[in-house]
Amino acid sequence: VDRVAETLTAEAARQLDEADPLRAFRARFRLPEGVVYLDGNSLGPLPRATPARLLDVAEREWGESLIAGWTAHRWIEAPARVGALIAPLVGACADELIVADSTSINLAKLVLAALALRPGRRVVLAEAGDFPTDRYMVEGLASLGLCVLRTVPREAVAEALDGETALLLLSHVHYRRSARHDMAALTAAAHAAGALTLWDVSHSAGAIEVNLAGAGADFATGCGYKYLNGGPGAPAFLFAARHHHDAIRQPLSGWMGHAAPFAFEDGYRPAPGMARFLAGTPPVLGLAALEEGVRLVAEAGIAALEAKSRLLSQALIACVEAAGAGHGLVLASPREPGARGSHVAFAHPHAHAICQALIAGGVIGDFRAPDVLRFGLAPAFLSFEDVRCAAATLARILDTRSWDRPAFHARKAVT
Amino acid sequence: VDRVAETLTAEAARQLDEADPLRAFRARFRLPEGVVYLDGNSLGPLPRATPARLLDVAEREWGESLIAGWTAHRWIEAPARVGALIAPLVGACADELIVADSTSINLAKLVLAALALRPGRRVVLAEAGDFPTDRYMVEGLASLGLCVLRTVPREAVAEALDGETALLLLSHVHYRRSARHDMAALTAAAHAAGALTLWDVSHSAGAIEVNLAGAGADFATGCGYKYLNGGPGAPAFLFAARHHHDAIRQPLSGWMGHAAPFAFEDGYRPAPGMARFLAGTPPVLGLAALEEGVRLVAEAGIAALEAKSRLLSQALIACVEAAGAGHGLVLASPREPGARGSHVAFAHPHAHAICQALIAGGVIGDFRAPDVLRFGLAPAFLSFEDVRCAAATLARILDTRSWDRPAFHARKAVT
């Protein structure tokens, strides 16, 4: 514990928290007592406004207006409205982003849209070891003969771009190591090879700055339940650069993506703009919860969030390295903040047991096989005191090897 | 009004309601005062239990358990659990049904799965004028060269089955006219031609008996927000006959359909059974609301629901025909209950204006261009008094031609 205090005293943490321009946002989340929640990169916590919003949508909007709710309460506009709220967080214009389906389904839509824009090219280039669903979806499309999935190691991505490549598909921030790609450079490289880009920004959106327009990105998708705080299984979003809109063919063409859904026409005519990426009826409850979650990060502003994320993660790395000194804990993420997302990974041979001991001690991070501990630094609600407390708990666990004893069941974090 | 009373007096309606074995279920829905809701076939009303369930999932499950909710509150099991609750309503076994995505997306998955089971055949045979999203989705897949959409008039469907047909795609109950297909006969005809069947049961499930197993149906999908009362944009469900399970390839292969989603393996391995139809992370809020909605119809039992649906719709036809006598209102649905779903359509040249006047009078049905009024008889909550009241309101509107006067703004139904 002393090792941590030498790095960050309780008083220093208090001063950092007092100087935090986002400190007021913490109270707008419901965070359980005695818990340090370092897994907001996996599932964001509950915004305090969300239960009341869900009640209002259910009791007043659905309960009283019934079918008329689609217009009376603008449910029909929710995919575009919540999309417009997300847009500035990822450097997109309001009309370039819409909320629909899941990240997986959106990946399929965007891969198919990209392939149609690059006739004669069939390769979707992806990174080995990237988040699995991205490659699983492309594998599925490849099994239909619609494309070829080519997977290369991270460092070989740029050089693997060639005249066969229709699409470069990458996670902006790696789900495990948190390494951040240079979106602008890789997009430029893809374009130079005549390919398009599709960025999965699930591990970026709402925590670090993403500049889809600035990078010239063609397509992107991301998840609503991580840093956007939309709740478990929240709807996802998708982005297409405006200059592609008119040419996009989106073959998962459901009625909500039709130019006139309620005309019940025999043939499909795509809606203008991003609306053609809608398929089925929008999930109104999920959209309402997502709207509340996004509102918090939108209000905080992405520049302030990234600035705080950098400070928090630097503090965490310093404190955890102090706690782990001599215990074989190794930083598995880039050290430089600009090369990282908002979570930090450490490797340890007993990472799983340590993660369980941390959870028992009130510090919730997560484990990724075989040996990675992930700590998410969601800047909208975490404090420097959280970071200090988590590291102090970790130090105690490592010093006492308490992760090695099944009887370890302390319920509260060290303070 | 007298014409309606001659057909069904208030006293007769009261007696029918007293004899209704499902009468207790009405109180378990929240129905606004002064409204007769004949649009439960479009959006089911709010079950009284749903707001509390949503609050519990948000505040206690998500708010307190955070990421641990996936196991602690069995969120991860919700798609299969709610699927198992729906299964007996459509004549399926619990392990043949799962909740996922939207009807549109599920249609794509099932069409692709069917095509893979019928190599060498490319035709998806559908009915002209059927619900558009079904055909729009197939159109999209056809644009990728994966199949050919062939659309024929309803009466020509059986004879159009041939050696090219991979799949017969039909709505069990027609969204507009409410005509019910003979699922067993058409499935047998499809099988005789070597084709598979995919039934959209959106307008059947929860209101009339569907026997997917008895009919030998191969695949089905349906909507959660109509008679299943799951709320606006509720998740949908899909069914595949068990004997197909091992052979099914589902190319929208997201991580939740993987045999081991949390192993983050490089290659896709399908989960056993229906779980391979999952793609992205399950929408926990939507699933919870759907579970409450389904619970009500499951408890009522589908045989009792269909029996009441038949009585209600027969009463409605009689009363509306009495109200419409001499006003050019024509039954547009089959008269025989077994040939119909649980809604009834009438045609009138001024259907749109009449529908608006009905809504202003507290009777909520809906309009489908150019000339159709639809009245949904959701048997779980409607009463015979509702039917009488709706018809009396309609009679007043027709007799006074009040639909022709923009000043018509009475807010209450005639009682």
What is the DSSP secondary-structure string of B200-244?
E-TTTTTTS---HHHHT--EEEE-SSSTT---TT---EEEE-GGG
Q: Which two tokens stand for residue A246?
A: 């008119």
Name the residue among B50, B102, B265 with its Cβ closest to that of A254: B102
- Does residue A41 sit in helix, strand or coil? coil
Contact between chains at B289 and A286 (C-beta distance less than 8 A): no
Number of DSSP helices (H) and strands (E) in chain A, helices first: 15, 15
CB within 8 Å of chain B, chain A residues 15-54: 30, 32, 35, 37, 39, 42-43, 45-46, 50-51, 54
Q: What is the pLDDT of residue B414?
A: 39
- Smallest CA-to-CA distance from B116 within B221, B253, B210 is with B253
pLDDT tens, residue by residue, A340-387: 999 999 999 999 999 999 999 999 999 999 999 999 999 999 999 999
- CA–CA min distance A2, chain B (Å): 30
Name the residue among A45, A68, A144 with its Cβ closest to that of B146: A144
Residues of chain A in contact with residue B70, where contact means CB-CB under 8 angstroms, are: 232
Name the residue among A67, A105, A223 with its Cβ closest to that of B279: A105
Q: What is the mean pLDDT of chain A?
A: 95
Radius of gyration in angstroms for the set of CA atoms belonging to chain A, rounded to a whole number: 22
Interface test with B, best of A133, A135, A343 (most B CBs within 10 A): A133
C-alpha distance from residue B295 to each of B210, B215, B309, B321 (Å):
17, 25, 18, 34
pLDDT tens, residue by residue, A124-138: 999 999 999 999 999
Q: Cα(A237)–Cα(A99) distance, rounded to whole angstroms? A: 4
Pairing of strands A372-376, A343-347: antiparallel
Catalytic residue among A176, A374, A388, A396: A374
A134 as an active site residue: the answer is: no
Q: What is the pLDDT of residue B411?
A: 40
Q: What is the pLDDT of residue A401?
A: 87
- Position A98 pLDDT exceeds 70: yes
A308 as an active site residue: the answer is: no
C-alpha distance from residue A238 to each of A102, A235, A313 (Å):
9, 10, 28
Helix or strand holding residue A345 (H, E): strand A343-347
Stretches in chain B below the pLDDT threshold 50 = 407-415
Question: Helix-strand-coil percent breakdown of chain A, rounded to 5?
Answer: 50, 15, 35
This complex has an ipTM of 0.96
Q: Cα(A342)–Cα(B162) distance, rounded to whole angstroms? A: 57
- Position A1 pLDDT exceeds 60: no
C-alpha distance from residue B250 to each of B106, B107, B268 (Å):
10, 11, 11
CB within 8 Å of chain B, chain A residues 191-210: none
C-alpha distance from residue A183 to each of A168, A187, A197, A338 (Å):
11, 6, 9, 12
Q: What is the pLDDT of residue B311?
A: 98
Q: Does A247 touch chain B if contact means CB atoms closer than 8 Å? A: no
Contact between chains at A232 and B75 (C-beta distance less than 8 A): yes
Query: Looking at chain A, which residue has its C-alpha nearest residue B109?
Result: A252
Residue B156 makes CB contacts below 8 A (sequence gap 6+) with none
Contact between chains at B51 and A58 (C-beta distance less than 8 A): yes
Residues of chain A in contact with residue B105, where contact means CB-CB under 8 angstroms, are: 101, 105, 252, 254, 279-280
pLDDT tens, residue by residue, A53-64: 999 999 999 999
CB within 8 Å of chain A, chain B residues 101-120: 101-105, 108, 112
Residues of chain A in contact with residue B30, where contact means CB-CB under 8 angstroms, are: 59, 63
Q: Which two tokens stand for residue A77?
A: 């506009």
Q: Which two tokens stand for residue B33?
A: 């005062």
- Position A410 pLDDT exceeds 90: no
pTM over the 0.90 mark: yes
B295 as an active site residue: the answer is: no
CB within 8 Å of chain A, chain B residues 264-283: 264-268, 279-283
What is the band of A414 on the pLDDT scale with cuts at 50, 70, 90?
A: very low
Contact between chains at B101 and A102 (C-beta distance less than 8 A): yes
Q: Does B370 touch chain A if contact means CB atoms closer than 8 Å? A: no
Q: Cα(B336)–Cα(B179) distance, rounded to whole angstroms? A: 10
Residues of chain B in contact with residue A54, where contact means CB-CB under 8 angstroms, are: 51, 54-55, 58, 285
Catalytic residue among A25, A37, A219, A225: A225
